Structure 1
C-alpha cells in the first residue's frame, strides 16, 4: 500500500533551516559519497554560503516544507548565456528529499516548482546533473521529462 501524497510548500531556505538541510545532504544515497557534516556545531561556512546565495538574485537554496518541517531541498541557479541570443538556463543541483518521505510527491513538487520558476524567469532550458550511481533518481527525472542528452564531466579541485 502506497503512502498518501504530500503537498509541500516550496520556499527559500532560511538560516534556521540549515541544520536540517545539512543533515539531509549528509545522508548516504545510492553509493553517492557525502562529505557534509551536520554537527553540532554547524560549520559557519554553511551560513556564509546561504547568505551569499540569498544576496544573488540568480541563485536560491529552496526547501520543501510539509507541516512546518523541512522535507526536502534543492539549489536553483539561473545562468545567463551569450549563446542562444542571450537566453537563460536554469541549473538544478543538490536535490534531496528526506528518505522517510520519498515516494510521496515531494521531489516532484520541488522539480515542478523549479521548472515553473525557470519558465517565469525566461529560461529556455532546465538542466541538472545526477551521480551515475543514482539510478532511482535518474528514473525519477526521466519520468518528469528530463532526457540524458549530454555526458556530464567534473574536475575535482
Structure 2
C-alpha cells in the first residue's frame, strides 16, 4: 500500500468511496460517467495552494481517501491548521489499518507544513468514525455548526 496526492484519473474511484455508505449514498452521484461538477471541484482543489486529496493505493487501486487542507490563520499567533474532510476507506479494507496509516501520512504532511493542529468534522451519526478518531488522539473539544445554503 502506498499514499500519494490524487490525480484526475483517481476521481471515479474517490467518488465511488464517497458514495459507498448510508450518508454518502444520499449526498453523492457515483455514475459511470461522473457529473462534471466533480471534475470542476477537483480542478478547484488542485488550483488552491495547500489543498489536496490524498489516496491510499494498493495494487494500483484506490482503497482510501481524504481531503487535506492547510489553512493559514491569524489566531494563535498566526498558527496554520490542517483540516481533514471526506475520509473514506473501501469497505473491503476497513479494519485493516488503512485509515490509520492514511491519517498518519496526512498528519506527517501537516507537521511538515508547520501546522499547529489538525482538525476535522464528523457527522454525529458516524459513531464508529468517532471512536476511530479518538483512538488516533483526536478529542471533541469544540461543537461544530453548519449552515446549509
TM-score (norm. length: structure 2) = 0.95
Verify: 1:50 aligned to 2:47, yes or no.
no
Q: Which residue of 2 aligns with 1:150?
A: 142
- Residue number among 11, 16, 32 corresponding to 1:23 in the alignment: 16
Taking the aligned partners of 1:82 and 1:61, their CA distance within structure 2 comes to 25
Q: Which runs of 5 or more residues in structure 1 are unaligned?
A: 1-7
CA distance in 1, matches of 2:30, 2:65: 15
Q: List per-residue Cα deviations over 1:119-145 (Å, max 9, x = no partner).
A: 110100000011111111111110100
Aligned position for 2:4: 11
Deviation by residue 1:36-66 (Cα, 9 ceiling, x = unmatched): 1111221111111111111222100111101
Distance 1:32 1:16 in 2: 21
Using the TM superposition, give the Cα deviation of residue 33 of structure 1 relative to its aligned residue in structure 2, in angstroms: 6.0
Partner residue, 1:62: 54
Return the structure number with greater relative CO, CA threshold 8 A, min gap 6: 1
The reply to whether residue 109 of structure 1 matches residue 101 of structure 2 is yes
Secondary structure, in 3 states, of the residue corresponding to 1:147? coil
Unaligned 5+ segments in structure 2 are none
SS of equivalent to 1:49: helix
Structure showing the higher helix proportion among its residues: 2
